[in-house]
Structure 1
């Protein structure tokens, strides 16, 4: 019983961590994502297949009985056992090629993993944004409830008009609608996150974005290009293609064959060794040309991947700077202070309810715009550092 209680407490603690830490959410998705599990199994099968291409040929056994009219049973027979193999240097070259091909598979897995975790982190950022918006809407609804209660008393005392009362009621009605919409967006994002988590439930209750690395613009750019998994995968493909050319350059070397032969003729038997080979006059034709063409393709794909990574990193860093400037331009404490002053003014009858809502709506719109820009800023920063996920 004690063990069960301890396990339950540990499980609750884990759930709490998941609800407060994006890294914990991403770790859970990495462990449970079905697509990543399938890729792992696919790479495992491909790795075994690559290894099997460098094994010895199957042993060949032939037995031939011969019959004669004047002899009862088998007159003579021949048994041939042979083993074929490539020239020893070819096995070494293929072993290195296989290692490089498996490295490409690992890089492709890392690229797919990055893309899945990037999608997951962006969903977490969306949920944080929705939580922030819900907090603001709940504050506004609470404010509307308090104003409504206050102006009902004023209306009963003849100090407020029905128009002012209806204005507050309409505001509260609109806020309820916006809260439902925010809840729907939150639920949809959480459902997508759950799908990435292999269908298992997951919580994201955070209301604060993760800290942004303190790198300067040049460092951000250099890191984004140097760590890009698309570039690294393309580079690994170039190395694998170069080795494949070396392997195919040895395709002209004859295959060797050794074996054992036993011939019987009545009670007499003779034994001997078999040595032979096959000369690849036709099977090796154009193999080197094909391998070199694929190598050229890999080199060009690598160059293209690097150009795309550099252009993307440069554009993202520039976009991040612009968004950061926009975020810094908003004075959130000032906006909140102004809302408090407006609330005090309408309570004291210094301004009308209509004037209050005109001013307050403008401030709330600015706060929502600030949240949207803040979300875009976090999204761009996540893109810059996506290869660190």
Structure 2
């Protein structure tokens, strides 16, 4: 029974170690574990609480004065004053609306920050897919180079090959080994970058194929959808609304403030006077130019939203055109490469002596370069599409 349990445990461990993690799973993990995202979330919470501080009532004031007479018989006199000041009620209503709008703005800024982190993580994953593909290609190239090196070593010993041909094969083997080594170093670096984004937790990501992406058919329809969901534009729209509300708040500051309280006077001999305290504060000087400043800030928010909208639309157009060009090139490479099996034919031809060493290296170099170009096009296309559809992250 113990042996059975051990065998099952080993099988499950091996299965878990070899399990692949999809890009969506990686993004969900990073959304949970990323330290920068967690820190920004706490900062957003703190700033949202800060927006409510301006709408608190001032602290109540309590004071007591104890006075002594300078002549005999004058006795002792005391005064107790308790008061509470507050603004005109309209000011509290306007500040409450401003606080809610600022909270929405902060939430949207956090959503924009989250999107940037997830886009960065997705880009790293897409680079890892490319590196995993290149690893498969470099492993194939290394395997072929080793087979040819062994073959020409045997031919050299029997006199069927010369030293120049053998040296060329050995150089090809050296280049293949170096390419595999550099590719693995780059892959490990990307995995480390992914672990850093995941809060220091390593992620096993070995995908060699990209997930299907939705093609952009109509730019105008896509532009409307993308800009309506863009968190940067949404936060600027909230900032625009907040700037308008700030004007109303600053206008409300021009209304008088009030103070209500209780006053008690005592004196030697049991005499006592008590009553209510009422005061009015007229902001003749403290609110000067506040409304002008708020209007200027509102104009700045309008212009900033307008400028950023133009920038976002221009970037979307550039990415759209880039994706179209990449898709065309990628499809052309795919049609040609999928209709050919050059590598197997080249290996057979060189081993049977149908082509010369020079012809082989010219053709095999073209084949590997074409494969590399195709994989690079796929990677660039996926990155462009990730940027286009980042609002869905």
TM-score normalised by the shorter chain: which range applies? over 0.9
Deviation at residue 262 of structure 1 after TM alignment: 0.7
Asked if the contact 1:217–1:317 (Cα under 8 Å) also holds between the matched residues in 2, the reply is no
In structure 2, relative to structure 1, the CA distance for the partners of 1:118 and 1:74 (3 Å cut) is farther
Aligned partners of 1:15, 1:238: CA distance in 2, in Å? 50
**Other-structure match for 1:177:** 178
Does structure 2 conserve the Cα–Cα contact (< 8 Å) formed by 1:237 and 1:298?
yes
1:21 matched residue in structure 2: 22
Q: Retained in 2: the 8 A contact 1:231–1:305? A: yes
Matched position secondary structure for 2:55: coil
Q: Deviations over 1:177-206 (max 9, x none)?
A: 111111222122222222222222222211
Secondary structure of the residue aligned to 1:53 is: helix
RMSD (CA atoms): 2.4
Q: Compared with structure 1, are the counterparts of its residues 12 and 308 closer, same or farther at alpha carbon in structure 2 (3 Å cutoff)? A: farther
2:352 pairs with 348, 351, 354, which one? 348
Alignment partner, residue 193 of structure 1: 194
What TM-score do you get using the length of structure 1 for normalisation? 0.92
Report the secondary structure of 2:341's partner residue.
Answer: helix
- What secondary structure sits across from 1:275 in the alignment? strand
Q: Structure 1: give runs of 5+ residues left out of the alignment.
A: none
* In the alignment, structure 1 residue 305 sits paired with structure 2 residue 308: yes
Contact kept? 1:242, 1:295, Cα under 8 Å: yes
Q: Deviations over 1:4-40 (max 9, x none)?
A: x9xx99x979976984211111122222222222211
1:287 shift after superposition: 0.6
User: Does residue 223 of structure 1 match 2:243?
Assistant: no
> Aligned equivalents of 1:52 and 1:221: distance in 2?
39
Alignment of 1:109-124 (within 5 A): 109-124=110-125
Distance 1:128 1:72, change over 3 A: farther
Change (3 A) 1:73 1:344: farther
CA contact (8 A) 1:101 1:237 kept: yes
- The match for 1:234 among 233, 236, 247 is 236
Shift of residue 160 of structure 1? Answer: 2.3
Matched length: 382
In 2, the alpha carbon distance for the partners of 1:18 and 1:52 equals 50
Q: 1:295 aligns with which of 295, 298, 301?
A: 298
Structure 2 equivalent of residue 253 of structure 1: 255
1:228-252 Cα offsets, whole Å, 9 max, x none, are: 2221111111011111111111111
